[in-house]
Amino acid sequence: MINKDKLLEAIAKREYGFYYDDRTPKFSRPEVNCSDEPYPGSHERMDKINELKTRRVQVGDPDFMQKWGNILSEMHTVVQEEVKAMLNCNEQQARLWMDKHIDFNHVKTSEDEYGNQYLSIDPVLVFEVK
């Protein structure tokens, strides 16, 4: 079982750059000038997470579900690797923790200059932070 205090300590150590909106922390790029990685490969994984967050899929695209599914699958894999490193847990524990504490269904909407609607994945941590 993963201890919530251990998780909060790990998040604080990582300095993920979470920002708060209605007390809900979200993944965002940390703005720190530090080359030290708290966990091996952490910077690379956060860069990948942030890159995946910028990928957009046009609403109404005939291949919408395939494109969305590919992005979601990549996001899930990278976040799982980060959770495993952060909490020093196995794959199953990381999946269980993610199922309980990360909402991958949270999306951002955007519109281009022609009025086309786009969606992008914006994962949210869903536990109360005190």
Say whether pTM exceeds 0.75: no
Query: What is the pLDDT confidence band of residue 11, given thresholds at 50, 70 and 90?
Result: low
Q: Closest by alpha carbon to 48, among 75, 25, 18?
A: 75
pLDDT average, residue stretch 15-37: 47
Q: Give the pLDDT score at 88.
A: 85
**Residue 28 predicted with pLDDT over 80:** no
pLDDT average, residue stretch 65-94: 92
Helices 4-14 and 64-87: crossing angle, nearest 10°? 100
Angle ∠(74,105,107) on CA atoms, nearest 5: 90
Q: Dump pLDDT digits (tens) for 80-115.
A: 998 898 888 899 999 998 888 888 888 999 999 999
Q: Which amino acid is at 45?
A: R
Q: How far apart are CA 115 and CA 89, in angstroms?
A: 45
Q: Closest by alpha carbon to 11, among 73, 76, 86, 93?
A: 86
Q: Which amino acid is at 121?
A: I
Q: How far apart are CA 55 and CA 120, in angstroms?
A: 6
Q: Give the pLDDT score at 57.
A: 96
Q: Dump pLDDT digits (tens) for 39-61.
A: 788 888 888 988 999 999 999 99
DSSP code of residue 17: -
